[in-house]
Chain A
Amino acid sequence: MTALLHVDNIGKRFGGFVALDGIELEVQPGERLGLIGPNGSGKSTLVNCICGTLQNETGKVHFNGSVIDGLAAHQRTHRGLARSFQLPRPFHSMTLADNLRIPLLYTVHARKGPLRSAGDLDARCHELLDMFGLAQKAKQMPRDLTQVEMRKLELARAMAAEPKLLIADESMAGLSHSEIEDILTLLVRLNERGITIILIEHIMSAVMSFSQRLAVLVSGRKVADGKPKDVVRDPEVVRAYLGQ
């Protein structure tokens, strides 16, 4: 089986600071990968390089069989890469339904030809809102949402683009235990529908229960990659988290 995503030895510097140093990472179709690492280890930079918000300086990113280096973020979204942001970034002047309408109009519509009618578009918006438990708030503005609803909107908008790979960047930070369960259930359900998911998270219980595989970044390098329960016992990982 060929990998859906292959991050091939990529590097990124910010001035003299090496943010990513030769990262190798493969993600198989349908997989649930957890990506962890201490603050400043390069997780978000890696996501930004994969999604096209930043461009990697060395190495290549392969997605779904082709090299996507140099493509703008929206082109990568069209090809089936979607992400949610660490701090929710809703379109604050639009209702929730309209927030989801954007990826439907600009990605799904562009990919498969017109969504038949305005009715189809509405139906799809509401289906998504329903799936994420936001149906009651379709006409509300993002500012009316609670923190957990905001995270759900962020995921719903990423899902509206009908991606093959979803990268969820810390979508549970600051949530309560039951809210975390809520989001996890959603993510597992998406994965069951065949969507490959990379979960970036600090909350270890969530990562451990979600991930089939775990990769660890420390100071811009990947120090471990394997079964979650093996990885957390890896001496280098323990050292990175607990110190020597």
Chain B
Amino acid sequence: MNTAKFLTLATAVAILVFAATHWYGIDYLFFAGYTILQFVVLATAWNILGGYCGYVNFGSAAFFALGAYSSVFMHKIYPLPVPALMLVGAAVSGVVGFGMGYLTLRLRGSFFAIATLALAVVLQTLVVNWDFVGGSRGAYIIRPETIEIAGFQINYIEYLFALMLALAVIALTTARTIERSQLGFGFATIRDDEMAAEASGVPTLRLKLIATTLSGAFMGMAGAPFPYYIGYLQPASAFGLEYAVNSIAMPMIGGTTSWIGPLVGSLLLGTAQQYATAYISLGTGVNVLIVGVLLIVFVIIAPNGIVGLVQERLRARRRP
């Protein structure tokens, strides 16, 4: 299936999902769906760097928060429609992603992971001390009840849900296209053996920068509508542990070698977390607890994630 066909199919699925949710007609479904889709985008974005290139980024929350805070910043100086804010968020987080890639180009493995973690701490400290965007107090953004598009009054949360759905389609299509392109092959050589990649003529530094930029940009885009969704943005929630942990755990549990992995992982974990939030009242830590336990289980029994597990089964069946 080529990219155009995939995009059409994915769009069709997205429209169906939207129609079904709309038909069901409960606002809560949009709130929950938005969060799950946001994780689809974050997991897919993380996987471009972490899965394809093998560089584990612990700073996903920072890129997400940058997107969210650039929206707060724009809201104060020049309010823009949310799709435009997503582009601003993409630009800001993309630039920071590029910078991170450039600064850490000599670091690999756990050293790279620690550097990304440090980046998150630095950025959070910066935001906490930056009064203009609310500092440690946080910032309020009053979400309008509805938005008018082409004469229709649309429920604002439906609008945000639709935007996140569109972003998920774009992110998945991008990831899938990369996977099958020369770029994807190049990313895989970086994951396998950087020295051999260079010897084969792969410009590893340039490719790494493309990956950190793209990955950062998508995370920023996922974060940009967040202040409108949540209504009150504070550093502790934007830089929350759950973003960093989920962005890693979802692709790991789904499988990191293909675009399907992060999708499966985020749908599964995202839904489980929403369910837990709604039906099990064990306090706020329960979400991260679920993720932690599942991650440990998968690392032990299925290190290649669900997709890897299915592939193994299929291969075993073919070779009796």
Contact = CB atoms under 8 A, between A and B. Distances in A.
Interface of A: 51-53, 72-75, 77-78, 82-83, 85, 89-94, 98, 101-103, 105-107, 109-110, 157-158, 160-161
A51 B196 CA distance: 11
A93 to B, nearest CB: 5
B312 interface: no
B196 A91 contact: yes
A106 B191 contact: no
4 A-B pairs with the lowest CB-CB distances in the bound complex, closest first: A107-B201, A73-B198, A77-B201, A89-B196
Interface string B237-271: 00000000000000000000100000000000000
Given A93-B257, A101-B185, A105-B185, A74 B196 contact: no
Contacts of A161: 200-201
B191 A85 contact: no
Interface in B187-235: 188-189, 191-193, 195-205
A52 B201 CA distance: 11
A51 B201 CA distance: 11
A107 B193 CA distance: 17
Contacts of B205: 72
Contacts of B153: none
A216 B83 CA distance: 66
Contact of A94 (B192, B198, B202): B192
27 contacts: A52-B198, A53-B195, A73-B199, A74-B199, A74-B200, A74-B204, A75-B203, A78-B201, A82-B199, A85-B195, A90-B196, A91-B192, A91-B193, A93-B192, A93-B257, A94-B188, A101-B185, A102-B189, A102-B197, A102-B200, A102-B201, A103-B201, A105-B182, A106-B182, A106-B186, A106-B203, A160-B200
Given A72-B203, A93-B257, A106-B182, A53 B198 contact: yes
A97 to B, nearest CB: 12
A89 B193 CA distance: 7
Given A74-B204, A77-B200, A89 B195 contact: yes
Contacts of A85: 195-196, 199
Nearest to A157: B200
A25 B263 CA distance: 55
A92 B199 contact: no
Contacts of A106: 182, 186, 200-203
A74 B198 contact: yes
B191 A72 contact: no
Contacts of B182: 105-106, 109
Nearest to A110: B201
Interface string B162-188: 000000000000000000001001101
A94 B52 CA distance: 13
Nearest to B202: A106
B307 to A, nearest CB: 14
A91 B204 CA distance: 14
Contacts of A91: 188-189, 192-193, 196-197
Given A72-B205, A110-B201, A102 B185 contact: yes
A203 to B, nearest CB: 23
